[in-house]
């Protein structure tokens, strides 16, 4: 008995064959003509946008082999919410970002990315994974230096001058938000010198580039592909990006990195000078003989047993320089204290009783 297909099946097969011919048939009669149409806008119409698009591509291509993801692992105790003594330990992973600063394998990231880590791995743009060694860190500045082996194929970044950026300049962030490696986002510099964001007291670059958890430690780039900052934190009620992100200015970060290199193996801890100081009023200047064109801060009180008191700083000393840097306000002094860190020495140029003196303050734990 010969098997026959029902008529309805034959009709459907025929319709499918006809549809296939229509889809692939060349000429105006086929649907393929819809996929051969020209661009809605010509190159001449979009020349400016295409040039800008190419500029962003160039920045990404120049930086992608310098930016890395950082994976850390540490053991934590997980406690049951139902039974007080029911707990177990798990080895948890977390992600951050970083970038290569030297061909010998030195990688920079945030201190909070690697804090308390039991193991650190660096993941390159081609997926290669390299174990990283801890070189040192500065806790208050939130900067850490790592080292991987040489010859990894990673390319060191180029540094820009973060003091020369202006509000409105392009600001480009690359990092691993939520573990999504080498994510690229574009924004602008929203503000140059944001102060008093947290306990560090240092200034930050504000940007609306997309910075999210996992972006920390990645570079903030200018339109030339130069690093102008280290992405660090966001301002948000939800913990997600709201267009307000902050980066450590690279000129400041380079000083910290050099200090970390000089203090290998250490975590440079926060320190305080222990003084209350302010920019002097005209009456103060007149009474103490401080010339009007001199910049600095006037010490009006200090904590008992503080680094300042133990090292011989006195009330009504006028601090003009700290570590060779001119002090214009209390934030400048606080920044230099933060750079030196606990156990370091702060060199001050002061004006006391109508004479200039140099004083070295050892930053101790009160």
Nearest residue to 256 (alpha-carbon basis) of 246, 248, 245: 248
Phi-psi sector, 76: left (phi>0), alpha (psi -120 to 50), beta: beta
**Catalytic pick among 62, 94, 102, 112:** 112
Phi and psi dihedrals of 252, rounded to 5?
-70, -45
Residues 6+ apart with CB under 8 A from 45: none
- Indicate if 102 belongs to the active site: no
**Catalytic pick among 142, 208, 317, 332:** 142
**Catalytic pick among 216, 306, 307, 311:** 216
Residues 6+ apart with CB under 8 A from 98: 67, 68, 69, 70, 107, 108, 109, 113, 122, 146, 217, 218
Nearest residue to 361 (alpha-carbon basis) of 301, 298, 311: 311
Tell me how crowded residue 103 is: count the other CB atoms within 10 A of its CB.
Answer: 12
- Indicate if 112 belongs to the active site: yes
Tokens of 276: 């209350």
- 174 contacts 155 by C-beta, under 8 angstroms: no
What amino acid positions are annotated as catalytic residues?
112, 142, 216
């Amino acid at each position: 008995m010969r098997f026959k297909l029902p008529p309805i099946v034959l009709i459907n097969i025929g319709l499918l064959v006809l549809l296939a011919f229509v889809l692939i048939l060349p000429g105006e009669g086929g649907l393929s003509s819809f996929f051969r149409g020209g661009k809605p806008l010509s190159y001449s119409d979009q020349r400016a946008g295409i040039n800008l698009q190419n500029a962003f591509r160039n920045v990404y291509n120049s930086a992608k082999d310098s930016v890395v993801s950082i994976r850390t692992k540490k053991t934590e105790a997980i406690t049951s919410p139902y039974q007080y003594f029911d707990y177990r330990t798990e080895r948890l992973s977390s992600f951050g970002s970083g970038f290569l600063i030297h061909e010998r394998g030195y990688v920079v990231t945030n201190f909070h990315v690697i804090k308390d880590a039991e193991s650190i791995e660096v993941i390159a743009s081609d997926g290669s994974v390299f174990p990283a060694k801890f070189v040192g860190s500065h806790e208050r500045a939130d900067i850490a230096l790592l080292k991987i082996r040489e010859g990894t194929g990673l390319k060191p970044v180029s540094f820009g001058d973060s003091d020369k950026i202006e509000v409105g300049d392009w600001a480009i962030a690359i990092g691993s938000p939520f573990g999504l490696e080498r994510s690229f986002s574009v924004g602008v510099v929203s503000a140059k010198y944001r102060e008093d964001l947290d306990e560090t007291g240092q200034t930050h670059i504000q940007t609306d580039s997309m910075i999210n958890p996992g972006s920390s430690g990645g570079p903030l780039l200018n339109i030339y592909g130069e690093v102008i900052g280290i992405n660090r934190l966001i301002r948000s009620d939800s913990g997600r990006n709201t267009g307000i992100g902050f980066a450590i200015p690279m000129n400041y970060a380079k000083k910290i990195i050099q200090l970390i290199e000089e203090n290998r193996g250490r975590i440079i801890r926060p320190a305080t000078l222990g003084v209350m100081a302010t920019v002097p009023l005209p009456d103060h200047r007149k009474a103490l003989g401080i010339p009007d064109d001199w910049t600095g801060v006037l010490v009006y009180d200090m904590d008992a047993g503080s680094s300042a008191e133990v090292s011989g700083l006195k009330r009504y000393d006028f601090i003009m320089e700290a570590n060779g840097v001119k002090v214009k306000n209390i934030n400048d002094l606080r920044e230099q204290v933060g750079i030196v860190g606990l156990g370091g020495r702060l060199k001050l140029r002061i004006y006391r009783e109508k004479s200039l003196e140099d004083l070295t303050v050892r930053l101790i734990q009160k």
